Amino acid sequence: MNFTRNSEIEQDFQLREQNRHREFAPVWDETLEAVFADVAPYYDIASDVASLGLCSAWRRRFTRAIGVGAGDRVLDVCAGTNGVGIALLARQPDIKVTAIDRSAAMQAEGGRRAKARGFSIESHVDDVHELPFPDDSFDVVTLQFASRHLRVIDVFSEIRRVLRPGGAFYHCDMLKPENPAVRRLYGMYLKGCVAGTAMMFGSGNEARSCRDYFVRAIELFYSEAELTRLLNGIGFHQVTSDSAPGGILAHHRAVKPQAV
């Protein structure tokens, strides 16, 4: 994908994305779908247990920060169990929410949850690296807790394409802390909590086998400041962010420029 900024940013991030893909492609292509099919029924509660409630708190904080208005078209990328879409519909019932995720099991669970609340969310099970929507289709795009499992340059570029000019992209994920000491402590905690949570919930072999991957995915991901640079480099503007203590998690807001 093409960057709209300087070549230094392009070269830096392209190289890092190549390294991430080289190391993680076997897991992304062959394992994660089975992992999410296994954990779909208890994914949200397991995330809260593993994060000591931080994921739930930041889900609420993230969705409260998403600006939606009457009739807005919202795309939730890597929608999982539709937590974001359900929260937005509860606040603004007249928006149209479209969800896309590669996991049929996660979307099936999300569909059940939306239906139980009386909400309608259009579901697509597809590859988010090539979004099956026309240019300028959505007023708002969201992506939460999934980017570290993706080729982010490709996905963010696709998100920019399907956003209307002036539309906003809201992103939230676990990130790489900038402080080396925090990174070490964070990695140690992740190794322990991923293994403990898998045992507590009786996860299958695929989920158990990914313990080291989940830690390594953070180590090779981006910090809050780096993600800001990346979004600017792809061609978003008005990029702002808000992070948890230590930079272990942050959410970003980025706007697609108006057409000239």
Q: Give per-residue pLDDT as tens, 177-204.
A: 999 889 888 877 777 766 666 666 555 6
- Phi/psi for 57 (5° steps) reads -65, -40
Residue 2 lies in a domain: no
pLDDT digits (tens, 9 = 90+) for 216-226: 999 999 999 99
pLDDT at 57 over 60: yes
Q: Would you say residue 260 lies in a domain? A: no
Q: According to the model, what pLDDT value does residue 259 have?
A: 75
Mean pLDDT across the stretch 7-13? 71
Q: Does a structural domain hold residue 130?
A: yes
| pLDDT for 49 beyond 80 | no
Q: For position 136, what pLDDT does the model report?
A: 97
Q: What is the pTM of this model?
A: 0.90
Residue 114 counted as domain residue: yes
The predicted pLDDT at position 45 comes to 73
Q: What is the pLDDT of residue 260?
A: 59
Q: Residue 184 has what pLDDT?
A: 85
Q: Specify the pLDDT at position 3.
A: 43
CATH of the domain at 98: 3.40.50.150
Query: Is residue 129 included in any domain, yes or no?
Result: yes
**What is the arithmetic mean of pLDDT over 69-88?**
96
What's the pLDDT tens digit per position in 136-162?
A: 999 999 999 999 999 999 999 999 999
DSSP string, the chain: ---SS-HHHHHHHHHHHHHHHHHHHHHHHHTHHHHHHHHGGGHHHHHHHHTTTHHHHHHHHHHHH----TT-EEEEET-TTTHHHHHHHHH-TTSEEEEEES-HHHHHHHHHHHHHTT---EEEES-TTS-SS-TT-EEEEEEES-GGGS-HHHHHHHHHHHEEEEEEEEEEEE---SSHHHHHHHHHHHHHHHHHHHHHTT--HHHHHTHHHHHHHHHTS--HHHHHHHHHHHT-EEEEEEE-GGGSEEEEEEEPPPP-
Domain hosting residue 51, numbered range? 7-255
The reported pLDDT for the residue numbered 35 is 85
Residue 176 maps to a domain: yes
**How many structural domains does the chain have?**
1
Asked if residue 67 is part of any domain, the answer here is yes
1 belongs to a structural domain = no
pLDDT at 46 over 90: no
- Asked whether residue 255 carries a pLDDT value surpassing 80, the answer given is yes
